[in-house]
Amino acid sequence: MSVRTNSIGRHLPTSGGLGKTLKLARELGCETAQIFVSNPQGWAVPASRPDGASFARESREAGVAPVVAHAKYLINLASVDDEKRWRSVEALARELVAAGAVGAELVVVHAGSHGGDGEERGMARLVEGLERAREQAAKLAGDPGRVAEPVVENSVGAGTQLCSTFEALGEVVRRAGARVCVDTAHAFVAGYDFSEEDGGRAVAGELVAAVGGAVAVVHLNDAKNELGSHRDGHRKVGEGMIPLEALPGFFEGLPGVPVVMETPFKGDEADAEEVRRVKELVGGLRKAPDRR
């Protein structure tokens, strides 16, 4: 008998306050959730949230854990432009602190782009940037226990983006001591074929071979675009190019890893149905007790 070990949730808005975010998480059946702790499209520093401490406590009590934050899209730790790079390091450090303050354990950050001088140099800058951001965050917080952990997300491999392959993620794991976030839509358009027979199991196998136990979270999104197209775009699970049949095998290979959907909002009913459907696909509505 299989028992579900993956917590299932989705990205949620915070615009009405974190109390409302938690209420929505519960209404949708989320066991984990992702939020932004600042405007992801701008450089503005995260505002301190008066409801942060109560959200941290209440989300834990409600069994919505881990809470994940997604860092600003503008951050590029691998940038060839020094000013942009140091700005990115500082921005990530502030996000790690702000996420910690609302009880989020992880901050997903994009691997960034090398900007033309090659993957090797880009990777070296990414590794250094992660280390510096963690150091700065610890200083800013003054209490390392309240700082969230940065996890690096795989890219679609457009232009000079780093980390579209699991091997590259593995390099980040080894060199920066960081864990990773794997986005299924990004992996698919980067060339990982979930649609072959037993494709989900095979992709999970390749992933684990490359990064070992360092998968901190999965972004479960269906892909809007074709295999190998290197074009981003998310669809609701089951409405894109990744066959639903691939998901049970994929998650069997990743026991206990939390799963966050970043699929388009289609209203509470449809969103709750998607959460429910994914739970059933990956082992059933009931989840095994947490060993965390």
Residues that bind Zn ion (CB under 5 A): 153, 183, 219
Residue 10: beta bridge partners? Answer: 33, 261
Q: In the complex, what is the shortest distance from the CB of residue 234 to Zn ion, in angstroms, rounded to a whole number? A: 8
Q: In the complex, what is the shortest distance from the CB of residue 259 to Zn ion, in angstroms, rounded to a whole number? A: 11
Q: In the complex, what is the shortest distance from the CB of residue 35 to Zn ion, in angstroms, rounded to a whole number? A: 13
Q: In the complex, what is the shortest distance from the CB of residue 262 to Zn ion, in angstroms, rounded to a whole number? A: 5
Looking at the Cβ atoms of 153 and 274, the one nearer to Zn ion is: 153
Looking at the Cβ atoms of 12 and 141, the one nearer to Zn ion is: 12
CA distance to 98, 119, 176, 229, per residue, from 114 (Å): 27, 6, 17, 20
Looking at the Cβ atoms of 70 and 134, the one nearer to Zn ion is: 70
Looking at the Cβ atoms of 75 and 89, the one nearer to Zn ion is: 75
Q: In the complex, what is the shortest distance from the CB of residue 42 to Zn ion, in angstroms, rounded to a whole number? A: 16
Q: In the complex, what is the shortest distance from the CB of residue 221 to Zn ion, in angstroms, rounded to a whole number? A: 6
Q: In the complex, what is the shortest distance from the CB of residue 123 to Zn ion, in angstroms, rounded to a whole number? A: 19
Looking at the Cβ atoms of 95 and 153, the one nearer to Zn ion is: 153
Q: In three state form, how does the secondary structure of the chain look? A: CCCECCCEEEECCCCCCHHHHHHHHHHCCCCEEEECCCCCCCCCCCCCCCCHHHHHHHHHHCCCCCEEEECCCCCCCCCCCHHHHHHHHHHHHHHHHHHHHCCCCEEEEECCECCCCCHHHHHHHHHHHHHHHHHHHHHHHCCHHHCCEEEEECCCCCCCECCCCHHHHHHHHHHHCCEEEEEHHHHHHCCCCCCCCCHHHHHHHHHHHHHCCCEEEEECCEECCCCCCCCCCEECCCCCCCCCCHHHHHHHCCCCCCEEECCCCCCHHHHHHHHHHHHHHCCCCCECCCCC
Looking at the Cβ atoms of 36 and 55, the one nearer to Zn ion is: 36
Looking at the Cβ atoms of 24 and 68, the one nearer to Zn ion is: 68
